[in-house]
Amino acid sequence: MNALRVFAVGGVTSYRALFNWIDPWIFVPQTLGYPIFEILFFAYLGRFASVQSDRFFLVGNAFMAIAITGFFGMGQAIGGERRSQTLATLLASPANRLALFLGRAVPSMLTGVVVAATAFTVCSFVLRVHFATHELLGLAAAAAVSSFACTSFGLCLGSLGLRGRSVSLFADTVGGSMLLISGANVPLERLPGFVRAVGSGLPLTHGIQAGRILGAGGSFGAAGHLLAREALVGCCYLLLGVAMLRVLEYEGRRSATLETF
């Protein structure tokens, strides 16, 4: 019961305590503005180069917005505690670690979905791309699964915060590389084999493919195997993240890195 409370109430409280973008003057330009301009940039670049449709870039980059909030939201769940110098206080408590850190995932996932949905809506309007209701429902389902997978991956990144200070560098690098590797802006079949192999082990890749099928009016039968792979990737990273939390907390106690900031 307490773990549930730490998960639900604690998650929201820590989100309020640490999420720097909660101020609308920062949240709107940074969290919402960036993905909107990213979608428009790639869509207009695609138009100029006549390589892919607006729909291709719209779906791919709206999913990237989910990934970025998932990576950074969770990635900063521990790094933020380190910066605010509350990590030691938190870790000296008997709270269930899984509930403590996964509780932070829910507001992060919701933020990602809201940001992606807003950017998607604004850019659909600007680019004059229209989706039918059943296509939007399919996209929402793919977005939800991708959000889970990205947040699970973010948990792995976040757990590195128990060992070191530079998690945001990792998240930046991974986030930037996902623009290419995930197939958000380049069709997967045009990428070299080894890049495709790396991408298939990362979150978002299968989610974007499923989103494109569902967003083009395809059935869940056609996209189901991709959604299942995306969910499987998410589950694997979730388990890895939980293991990393345990191991790196112990390692932090051994190497005295829990309080460096």
Partner 1 sequence: MAAIEVHELERTYRSRKGVIRRRRTEVRALQGITFEVAAGELFGLLGPNGAGKTTTIKILTTLLLPSGGSARVLGYDPARQPGEIRRRVGHVFGGDRGLYDRLSALDNLRYFADLYRVPVREKRARIASLLELVGLTGRERERVETYSRGMRQRLHIARGLLHDPEILFLDEPTIGLDPVGAREVRETVASLRAQGKTILLTTHYMYEADELCQRIAVIAGGRFVAAGTPRELKARVLDRTVIELETFGVAEPTLERLRSVAGVASIASETREQAEVLVVQSRIGAEIVPALLLELTGTSVGKVITREPTLEDAYVELVGSA
C-alpha closest to that of 131 among 199, 68, 55: 55
- C-alpha triplet 207, 183, 75: angle, nearest 5°: 65
Residues engaged in binding partner 1 (CB under 8 A): 2, 5-6, 9-10, 13-14, 16-18, 84-86, 88-95, 100, 253-256, 258-259
As measured in angstroms, the least distance from the Cβ of 71 to partner 1 is 23
As measured in angstroms, the least distance from the Cβ of 69 to partner 1 is 19
Q: Which helix (H) or strand (E) holds 208?
A: helix 205-215
Cβ-based nearer residue to partner 1, 7 or 42? 7
Cβ-based nearer residue to partner 1, 17 or 180? 17
C-alpha closest to that of 155 among 76, 220, 260, 49: 76
- Classify residue 126 by its DSSP letter: H
Cβ-based nearer residue to partner 1, 91 or 156? 91
And the tokens for 129?
Answer: 């791309």
Cβ-based nearer residue to partner 1, 49 or 92? 92
Neighbour tally for 122: CB within 10 Å: 16
Query: How many angstroms separate the CA atoms of 108 and 105, rounded?
Result: 5
